Amino acid sequence: MKIAIVHDLELNDEEFKMVESVKNAISKKFKCELVPFDEKFINNVKNFDFVFNLSNKGGKETKQLHVPSILDKLGIPYTASNAYSHALCLDKITTKIIMNFHNIPTPLFMYFDIGEVPEVMDEGKVYIVKPPREGSARGITRESVVDNLEAMRKQVKKIHEEFKQPALVEEFIDGMEVSVGLLGNGEDLEVLPILEIDFSKLPEGLERFYSYEVKHNYGEQTNYVCPARISNEVKQKLEFYAKKLFKVLSLKDYARMDVRIRGNEVYFIEVNSLPQLVPVYSDITKMAKAAGYEYDDLILKILEHAIKRYEGGK
């Protein structure tokens, strides 16, 4: 079996490291080559039996939908979710509507289409205003958290203007942040040890959530604790809802979910259907390590789950 590791053309240092490391891991067991997602992609990829998909910059608005769609058309099997599931996760509002329908707890939210202005706000409540179709904390600053109508209006307008997207206004959950990683499918679906993201060691005055600033400039001072310091009751809730969500979104092979915890209640915030796999740095590799899987084990497990899924006809 010959495997193509499909990656975006433009890679930052971390992504470059990810692509090289995935190749290194797969070459332990299979023949493999790097294949960029460029204009020659359709022709190049036809020479392979299977794809390990790492492309999430396929288009301006629809990011990770392209490679899976093309591979489905060509009949070439690939790792991770298909375009349908990626689309459900690309828009946080869509994901939240699905969570609500399936009774998976998610913060209360409002939706403001481009041009719409918030008219009322519950006194004493705190909200976070976000662009629904971004990632990597783009559009999230300390000002995104609002406690009065004027500030909310300003942030909603900012999202409309800066991102040309509707604005998602969500109840701000002041509590612990965790990330839940899943690996496998169906009966073999496994929730990895839960990763706690502890912001308490950040410099005084800095926000205690993943703003763009914190995510990109304070990684070193963010404290990652795995397994998370949570009760057994909370852990069981997280595992139950994370598996349910994986299933209702028809996710495949691996995914990662952001969750906030307040008291004993868990609130699912978003789903990353194609989380990054940078050695050491990425959340999911930290979780795998706590489960006893070295980086190469994790990559080969993802691939083996995908192969097994196609053998099973799913």
Ligand X SMILES: Nc1ncnc2c1ncn2[C@@H]1O[C@H](COP(=O)(O)OP(=O)(O)O)[C@@H](O)[C@H]1O
Stretch that binds Mg ion, among 48-56, 86-94, 147-155, 251-259 (CB under 5 A): 251-259
Distance CA 153, CA 158 (A): 9
Closer residue to Mg ion in complex, CB, 170/258:
258
Footprint of ligand X (CB under 6 A):
92, 107, 128, 130, 134-138, 140, 170-173, 177, 209-210, 258, 260, 269-270
Give the nearest distance from C-beta 110 to ligand X in angstroms: 12
Shortest Å, Cβ 295 to Mg ion:
22
Nearer to Mg ion, 253 or 258 (CB): 258
> How many residues make up the chain in this entry?
314
Shortest distance in whole angstroms from residue 206 CB to ligand X: 12
Distances (CA, A) of 49 to 67, 68, 71, 293: 15, 14, 11, 26
The reply on whether position 283 binds Mg ion by CB under 5 A is no
The single-letter code of the amino acid at 64 is Q
In the chain, alpha helices (H): 13-26, 41-45, 66-74, 83-90, 92-101, 149-163, 212-217, 232-248, 283-290, 295-311
Per rule CB under 5 A, is residue 258 in the interface with Mg ion?
yes
DSSP annotation of 57: -
CB of 233 to Mg ion, least distance (A): 24
By beta-carbon proximity to ligand X, the closer residue of 52 and 210 is: 210
What residue number has its CB nearest to Mg ion? Answer: 258
112/155 Cα distance (integer angstroms):
11
Considering the complex, state which of residue 95 and residue 155 has its C-beta at the smaller distance from Mg ion. 95
Name the amino acid, one letter, at 114: I
66 versus 92: smaller Cβ distance to ligand X: 92
Residue with tokens 């489960």: 291
Tell me which residues touch Mg ion (CB under 5 A). Answer: 258
